[in-house]
C-alpha cells in the first residue's frame, strides 16, 4: 500500500508552481489521473451542470488507508515522490501532491475510500478547506471523490468560469483525452444524469479510438510505428483523403500523458502535407510516444500540459520520418522513390533550422494553380463599375446595388479564384479580394434567418445517410433539430450514437458534403464565442449553419459559381462581414497599387 508523506520544503520549492484547479475540467483531469495511478480498471465520472455543481469520480483501485485520508487532502503530500531526484523519473500521472488539497479547498468535498475487500471504509469531508473528522462508512475497495459547488467560497474565481455548456465541453474534452490513452480501463461517464460514455476495456488503441471517436473514423486510420534507442512511437493518422481544414483530433500522449508540443504537431503536419493535394488540409491523429522518463522533464507546467524534451530536433525528425515512411507505403509509391528520398532529406535539414516552412509551400503551390479565367472559353470583359459607389449608394437607400446597375452586374465582370480560397475581381477603382468562405457564410446566414419565418425547401435523399456521432454531439444535434428541419434537413434518431438523414436543403449542399456540413454545424454550435454577434438562439443557429454549410477554403469554384456568389453577397443586408464578424472582402485601391510601383 503506497504511503503518503509530506514533501520536504526544498522538494516543494522545486515543483513548478501554479494553479492546479482552474475550472471543473481541471478537477476531473486530476481525479482521473489519481484513479489511474491507483491501478483501477473501472472508473466512473459523474458531473452535473458542467461540473460546477457536482463532480464525482469512483474507482476500484488500491484505496486509501484510514490514517492516510487527512494526509491525502493536505497540500504537498504525496505517495508518488519523496525527493527532488524522483522528479526526473516520475512514472505516475501525479506527483505534486496538490490536487486533492486544492479541490478540497475550493469546494464542498468528500473523500471516501476502502483499501480492503471487507466493505469497511472511511471518509473525510472538507468544507472549503476546513477538514472534518475521519468517519467509518461502508465502501467497496477503491475510492470515491466528490466535489460539490465548486468555488462556492471563492466568488472571484467563480466569476471566471464560462457558461455551463462551455464547462461541460471542456470536461468532455478532458474525459475523451484520458479515455483514449487507457484502452484497458473501463470508463463510464454520466453527465446531468445521462450516460454519455460506457467504454468497456479493449485490447488496443485503435479499438479505444473507435469507442471514443466512431468506428468509421477509427477503421480508416493508418498505423505507423517506429522506435530508436530513446523512444518509441505508435501513431494513428487519418488517410490523406480524409484530411480536413479543421481536423478533430491532434492528440499527443507522452508516456500516456496528454500534452501539447509544437515540434510533434509541426512534424506531423509537415510530413502529412507531402501527401495531400488540397492546400491547408490537415490530418486527425493520435500519437502515443514512449520515452525514457529521464529524457524529459514533466515538471515545467503546473497542470503538466507541457513537458520539456532533451532534444526537440531529434523528436521532430523521428516523428516526421515515422509518418512519411508509412504514408509513402500507403500511397503505393506513386512518386519516383529516389526523388522522394532526396526531398525528405532536404526537407529535414531545412526544417531543423526552422519549422516555419509555409512560404516554401506557398511557392510550390503557386506553380500548380491555374488562374480560373484561363480555363473559361471566353474571358468576360471587364466593365466599368465603381465598387465604392455601389456599396455607399446601397447604404443610403437601403436597397441592394442601388446604383442603377442591374443585379446581374457581376456576371460581366472578370474574376478569378486564388488558391481555391479567394476571389479576385477587377473593379474600376482597384482590385477587390473576396474571402469565399466568409462571403458564402454571410449569404447563407441571411437566407437561414429569413427562412426562420418561411421554411426552406427540402429535397429527399434517394438513400438515407446514417451518421455516427459522439454522444454529446448527438444530444446537441437533436436539441436543435427543429432548426435543422426548418433549414431543409430531415434528421432522425437512429438508435445508439447514430442519426439518419432523410432529406437536405434543396438548393445548396452536395450530397457528398452533408456529413461534413452537419459535423461542422455541430462544432460551430458548440463554440460559444462571439456571443455578442450571435445574441439569440436563431442567430446562433443561423451562424453555425452558415459556417458549416458554406463553401470551404480549398473548394475550386467554377466561373458561374463565383459570379453567383458575388451577386448573392452584394444582395445581402450586410455584405461587409461574415456572421462571426470577420470581413468578407478587402479592397486594394488603384492608388495603393500605384504606390507599390512607385508611380
Ligand atoms: P498526487 O497525485 O500528486 O500525489 P493528489 O493530491 O492528487 O497528489 O493525491 C494525494 C495522494 O492521495 C496520492 O499521492 C495518493 O497516494 C492518494 N490518492 C489520491 N487519489 C487516490 C485514489 N483515487 N486512489 C488511491 N489513492 C489516491
Ligand atoms: Mg494526483
Q: At what angle do helices 514-526 and 471-479 cross, to 10 degrees?
A: 90
Cα–ligand 1 centroid distance for 154 (angstroms): 24
CA 345 to chain CA centroid, Å, is 32
Name the β-bridge partners of 530: none
296-305, 313-322, 507-516: least confident range: 507-516
State the average pLDDT for the chain. Answer: 82
Closest residue (by CA) to atom 13 of ligand 1? 78
Cα–Cα distance for residue pair 32/128, rounded to 1 Å: 21
Ligand closest to CA 33: 2
On the question of pLDDT at 115 being above 50, the answer is yes
On the question of pLDDT at 404 being above 60, the answer is no
Atom of ligand 1 nearest to the CA of 145: 23
Cα–ligand 2 centroid distance for 55 (angstroms): 15
pLDDT at position 117 is: 95
- Cβ 309 vs Cβ 259: under 8 Å: no
- Cβ 240 vs Cβ 272: under 8 Å: yes
Ligand closest to CA 143: 1
pLDDT digits (tens, 9 = 90+) for 522-565: 877 776 554 433 445 566 667 777 877 788 888 888 888 888 88
| 87's grid cell | 522528479
pLDDT at position 223 is: 96
At 82, is the secondary structure helix, strand, or coil?
coil
> Which position has the higher pLDDT, 416 or 520?
416
Cα–ligand 1 centroid distance for 203 (angstroms): 27
Atom of ligand 1 nearest to the CA of 63: 25
On the question of pLDDT at 289 being above 70, the answer is yes
Ligand closest to CA 3: 1
CA end-to-end span of the chain, whole Å?
82
DSSP state of 113: E
On the question of pLDDT at 504 being above 50, the answer is yes
- Cβ 410 vs Cβ 400: under 8 Å: no
Cα–ligand 2 centroid distance for 26 (angstroms): 11
299 band by pLDDT with thresholds 50, 70 and 90: confident
What whole-number percentage of the chain has pLDDT above 90? Answer: 43
Atom of ligand 1 nearest to the CA of 98: 6
H or E element: which one contains 232?
Answer: strand 231-237
pLDDT at position 339 is: 41
Residue 487: φ, ψ to 5°? -95, 20
Cα–ligand 1 centroid distance for 95 (angstroms): 9
On the question of pLDDT at 69 being above 70, the answer is yes
On the question of pLDDT at 384 being above 50, the answer is no
The residue assigned the cell 455601389 is 390
Ligand closest to CA 76: 1
Cα–Cα distance for residue pair 341/324, rounded to 1 Å: 10
pLDDT at position 396 is: 35
Cα–ligand 1 centroid distance for 113 (angstroms): 11
pLDDT at position 90 is: 83
pLDDT at position 575 is: 87
E-assigned strands of 292-369?
A: 296-297, 308-309
pLDDT digits (tens, 9 = 90+) for 559-588: 888 888 888 898 888 888 888 778 899 988
E-assigned strands of 428-484?
A: 430-435, 458-468
Pocket test for ligand 1, best of 1, 7, 94 (most atoms within 8 A of CB): 94
Signed CA dihedral, 512, 515, 516, 517: sign only: positive
Cα–ligand 1 centroid distance for 152 (angstroms): 23
pLDDT digits (tens, 9 = 90+) for 191-247: 999 999 999 999 999 999 999 988 889 999 999 999 999 899 999 999 988 888 778
H or E element: which one contains 54?
Answer: strand 54-59
79-83, 115-119, 346-350: least confident range: 346-350
Cα–ligand 2 centroid distance for 31 (angstroms): 7
**What is the 3-state composition of the chain as percent helix, strand, coil, each rounded to the nearest 5?**
40, 25, 35
Strands 422-427 and 415-418: antiparallel
pLDDT digits (tens, 9 = 90+) for 159-182: 889 888 889 989 999 999 999 999
Cα–Cα distance for residue pair 265/287, rounded to 1 Å: 10
pLDDT at position 245 is: 78
Pocket test for ligand 1, best of 34, 37, 114 (most atoms within 8 A of CB): 34
On the question of pLDDT at 119 being above 70, the answer is yes
Cα–Cα distance for residue pair 507/485, rounded to 1 Å: 14
> Which position has the higher pLDDT, 382 or 56?
56
Ligand closest to CA 102: 1
Pocket test for ligand 1, best of 4, 72, 123, 141 (most atoms within 8 A of CB): 72
Which range among 143-147, 275-279, 309-313 has the greatest average pLDDT? 143-147
Name the β-bridge partners of 460: 503
Atom of ligand 1 nearest to the CA of 102: 6
Cα–ligand 2 centroid distance for 205 (angstroms): 24
At 186, is the secondary structure helix, strand, or coil?
strand
On the question of pLDDT at 382 being above 60, the answer is no
pLDDT at position 378 is: 33
- Cβ 577 vs Cβ 584: under 8 Å: yes
Query: Mean per-residue pLDDT for 485-502?
Result: 89
b/e per residue 349-365 (b: at least 16 CB within 10 A) = eebeeebeeeeeeeeee
Could you tell me which of 84, 83, 78, 36 has the C-alpha nearest to residue 60? Answer: 36
Cα–ligand 2 centroid distance for 207 (angstroms): 27
| 579's grid cell | 456572421
- The Cβ of residue 455 has, within 10 Å, a number of other Cβ atoms equal to 11
Query: Mean per-residue pLDDT for 248-270?
Result: 92
Query: Mean per-residue pLDDT for 20-47?
Result: 96
Cα–ligand 1 centroid distance for 307 (angstroms): 21
> Which position has the higher pLDDT, 52 or 384?
52
Cα–Cα distance for residue pair 556/53, rounded to 1 Å: 49
Closest residue (by CA) to atom 16 of ligand 1? 79
Pocket test for ligand 1, best of 5, 7, 37 (most atoms within 8 A of CB): 37
Atom of ligand 1 nearest to the CA of 4: 16
pLDDT digits (tens, 9 = 90+) for 128-162: 999 999 999 999 999 999 999 999 999 988 988 98
Ligand closest to CA 98: 1
DSSP-assigned letters across all residues of 15-50? SPPS-S-SSHHHHHHHHHHHHHHTT-SEEEEEEEGG
pLDDT digits (tens, 9 = 90+) for 420-455: 899 999 887 788 999 999 999 898 888 878 776 666
The angle at the Cα of 70, spanning 65 to 73, to the nearest 5 degrees, equals 110
> Which position has the higher pLDDT, 486 or 455?
486
Let me know how long the chain is.
Answer: 599
b/e per residue 104-126 (b: at least 16 CB within 10 A) = bbbbbbbbbbbbeeeeebbbbbb
On the question of pLDDT at 335 being above 60, the answer is no
Atom of ligand 1 nearest to the CA of 111: 20
| 36's grid cell | 489511474
| 450's grid cell | 429569413
Q: Which residues line ligand 1 (CB under 6 A)?
A: 2, 4, 30, 34-35, 38, 59, 61-64, 72, 78-80, 94-101, 143
Strands 585-589 and 490-493: unpaired
Amino acid at each position: 500500500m503506497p504511503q503518503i508523506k509530506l514533501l520536504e520544503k526544498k522538494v516543494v520549492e522545486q515543483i513548478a508552481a501554479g494553479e492546479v484547479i482552474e475550472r471543473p475540467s481541471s478537477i476531473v483531469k486530476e481525479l482521473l489521473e489519481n484513479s489511474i495511478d491507483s491501478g483501477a480498471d473501472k472508473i466512473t465520472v459523474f458531473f452535473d451542470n458542467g461540473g460546477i455543481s457536482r463532480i464525482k469520480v469512483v474507482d476500484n483501485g488500491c484505496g486509501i488507508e484510514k490514517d492516510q485520508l487527512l494526509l491525502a487532502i493536505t497540500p504537498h503530500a504525496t505517495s508518488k515522490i519523496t525527493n527532488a531526484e524522483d522528479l526526473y523519473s516520475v512514472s505516475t500521472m501525479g506527483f505534486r501532491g496538490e490536487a486533492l488539497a486544492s479541490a478540497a479547498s475550493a469546494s464542498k468535498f468528500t473523500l471516501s475510500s476502502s483499501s480492503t475487500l471487507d466493505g469497511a471504509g472511511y471518509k473525510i469531508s472538507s468544507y472549503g478547506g476546513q477538514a472534518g473528522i475521519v468517519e467509518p462508512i461502508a465502501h467497496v475497495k477503491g475510492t470515491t471523490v466528490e466535489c460539490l459547488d465548486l468555488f462556492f467560497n471563492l466568488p472571484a474565481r467563480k466569476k471566471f468560469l464560462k457558461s455551463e455548456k462551455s464547462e461541460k465541453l471542456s470536461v468532455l474534452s478532458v474525459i475523451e483525452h484520458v479515455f483514449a490513452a487507457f484502452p484497458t480501463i473501463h470508463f463510464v461517464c454520466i453527465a446531468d444524469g445521462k450516460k454519455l460514455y460506457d467504454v468497456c476495456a479493449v485490447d488496443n488503441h485503435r479499438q479505444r479510438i473507435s469507442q471514443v471517436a466512431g468506428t468509421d473514423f477509427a477503421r480508416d486510420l493508418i498505423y505507423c510505428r517506429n522506435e530508436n534507442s530513446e523512444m518509441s512511437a505508435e501513431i494513428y493518422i487519418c488517410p490523406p483523403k480524409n484530411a480536413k481544414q479543421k481536423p478533430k483530433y491532434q492528440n499527443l500522449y507522452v508516456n500516456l500523458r496528454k500534452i501539447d508540443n509544437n515540434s510533434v504537431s509541426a512534424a506531423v503536419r509537415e510530413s502529412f502535407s507531402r501527401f495531400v493535394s488540397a492546400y491547408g488540409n490537415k490530418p486527425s491523429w493520435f500519437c502515443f510516444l514512449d520515452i525514457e522518463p529521464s529524457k524529459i522533464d514533466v515538471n515545467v507546467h503546473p497542470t503538466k500540459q507541457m513537458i520539456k524534451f532533451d532534444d526537440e530536433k531529434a523528436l521532430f525528425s523521428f516523428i516526421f520520418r515515422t509518418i512519411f515512411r508509412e504514408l509513402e507505403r500507403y500511397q503505393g509509391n506513386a512518386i519516383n522513390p529516389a526523388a522522394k528520398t532526396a526531398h525528405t532529406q532536404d526537407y529535414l535539414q531545412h526544417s531543423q533550422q526552422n519549422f516555419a516552412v509555409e512560404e516554401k509551400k506557398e511557392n510550390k503551390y503557386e506553380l500548380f494553380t491555374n488562374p480560373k479565367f484561363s480555363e473559361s472559353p471566353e474571358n468576360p470583359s471587364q466593365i466599368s463599375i465603381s465598387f465604392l459607389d455601389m456599396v455607399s449608394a446601397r447604404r443610403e437607400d437601403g436597397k441592394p446595388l442601388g446604383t442603377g446597375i442591374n443585379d446581374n452586374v457581376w456576371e460581366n465582370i472578370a474574376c478569378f479564384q486564388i488558391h481555391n480560397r479567394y476571389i479576385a475581381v477587377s473593379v474600376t477603382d482597384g482590385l477587390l479580394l473576396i474571402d469565399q468562405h466568409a462571403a458564402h457564410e454571410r449569404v447563407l446566414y441571411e437566407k437561414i434567418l429569413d427562412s426562420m419565418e418561411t421554411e426552406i425547401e427540402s429535397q429527399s435523399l434517394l438513400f438515407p445517410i446514417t451518421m455516427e456521432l459522439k454522444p454529446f454531439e448527438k444530444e446537441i444535434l437533436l436539441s436543435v433539430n427543429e432548426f435543422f428541419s426548418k433549414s431543409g434537413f430531415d434528421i432522425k434518431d437512429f438508435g445508439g450514437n447514430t442519426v439518419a438523414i432523410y432529406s437536405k436543403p434543396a438548393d445548396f449542399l452536395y450530397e457528398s458534403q452533408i456529413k461534413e456540413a452537419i459535423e461542422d454545424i455541430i462544432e460551430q454550435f458548440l463554440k460559444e464565442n462571439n456571443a455578442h454577434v450571435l445574441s439569440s438562439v436563431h442567430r446562433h443557429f443561423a451562424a453555425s449553419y452558415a459556417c458549416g454549410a458554406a463553401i470551404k477554403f480549398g473548394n475550386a469554384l467554377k466561373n458561374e459559381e463565383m459570379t453567383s456568389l458575388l451577386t448573392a453577397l452584394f444582395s445581402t443586408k450586410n455584405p461587409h462581414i461574415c456572421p462571426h464578424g470577420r470581413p468578407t472582402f478587402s479592397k486594394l485601391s488603384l492608388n495603393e497599387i500605384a504606390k507599390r510601383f512607385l508611380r
